């Protein structure tokens, strides 16, 4: 092996390492900067909750988990639903009543899956939901949480621990019992 080739090899290796480090630094920077999806309110410095019940900003699983983490300190009800889902129609009035009953003591949060935004917005208005929902057109949030189908209702206590999960239309009295245990 010639001397020129032997001297060039460490230089190329250092350059490759430097390029790798710079690439990782750029990726880390890009991942650490966040943009707020359209329809999400942050003006009060609070959680990244949708500004209105019908805003329906699109969320993926990672963004949803970020939102859940920001809600620590308050019990949370997550309801995964779709406007075309029969059992979702059955449970919708009870969810509206419970959200009004518990008011600010519990954060209700819907996840509209596999739906059309306009149909979902009409559904929210029809049942008088006062709490926000996020839009998940491919069901990624539901799948990430380990469920198939909808509706699914989850309760998280103020520390973020899941205390209840139900597949199918949630019974209003059962959900009230679960909420009373975490409020």
Residue 57 scores a pLDDT above 70: yes
| Per-residue 3-state assignment (H helix, E strand, C coil) for 21-48 | HHHHHHHHHHHHCCCCCCCECCCCCCCC
- Weakest-pLDDT range from 17-21, 59-63, 112-116, 140-144: 17-21
Alpha carbons 124 and 130: distance in angstroms, whole number: 8
What are the pLDDT digits (tens) for 61-87?
Answer: 999 999 999 999 999 999 999 999 999
Pairing of strands 133-136, 76-81: unpaired
Higher-pLDDT residue of 7, 174: 174
CA-wise closest residue to 149 among 68, 81, 95, 64 = 81
- Looking at domain 61-182, its CATH class is alpha beta
What DSSP string describes 63-81? HHHHHHHHTTTS-EEEEEE
Q: Given this model, what pLDDT does residue 34 score?
A: 37
pTM: 0.75
Locus of tokens 């979902």: 120
- Residue 79's φ and ψ, nearest 5 degrees, are -120, 120
Q: Given this model, what pLDDT does residue 48 score?
A: 86
Kindly tell me the sign of the dihedral angle through the C-alpha atoms of 56, 57, 62, 66.
negative
């Amino acid at each position: 092996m010639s001397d020129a080739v032997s001297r060039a090899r460490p230089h190329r290796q250092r350059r490759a390492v430097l390029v790798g480090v710079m690439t990782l630094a750029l990726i880390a920077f890009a991942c650490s900067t966040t943009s707020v999806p359209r329809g999400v309110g942050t003006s009060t410095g609070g959680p990244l909750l949708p500004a209105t019940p019908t805003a329906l900003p699109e969320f993926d699983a990672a963004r949803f988990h970020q939102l859940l983490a920001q809600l620590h300190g308050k019990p949370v009800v997550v309801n995964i639903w779709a406007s075309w889902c029969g059992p979702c129609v059955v449970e919708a009035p009870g969810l509206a009543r419970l959200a009004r009953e518990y008011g600010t003591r519990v954060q209700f949060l819907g996840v509209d899956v596999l739906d059309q935004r306009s149909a979902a917005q009409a559904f929210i208005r029809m049942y008088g939901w006062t709490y926000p929902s996020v839009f998940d057109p491919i069901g990624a949030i539901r799948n990430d949480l380990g469920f198939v189908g909808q509706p699914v209702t989850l309760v998280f206590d103020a520390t973020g621990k899941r205390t209840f999960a139900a597949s199918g239309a949630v019974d209003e009295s059962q959900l009230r019992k679960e909420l009373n245990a975490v409020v």
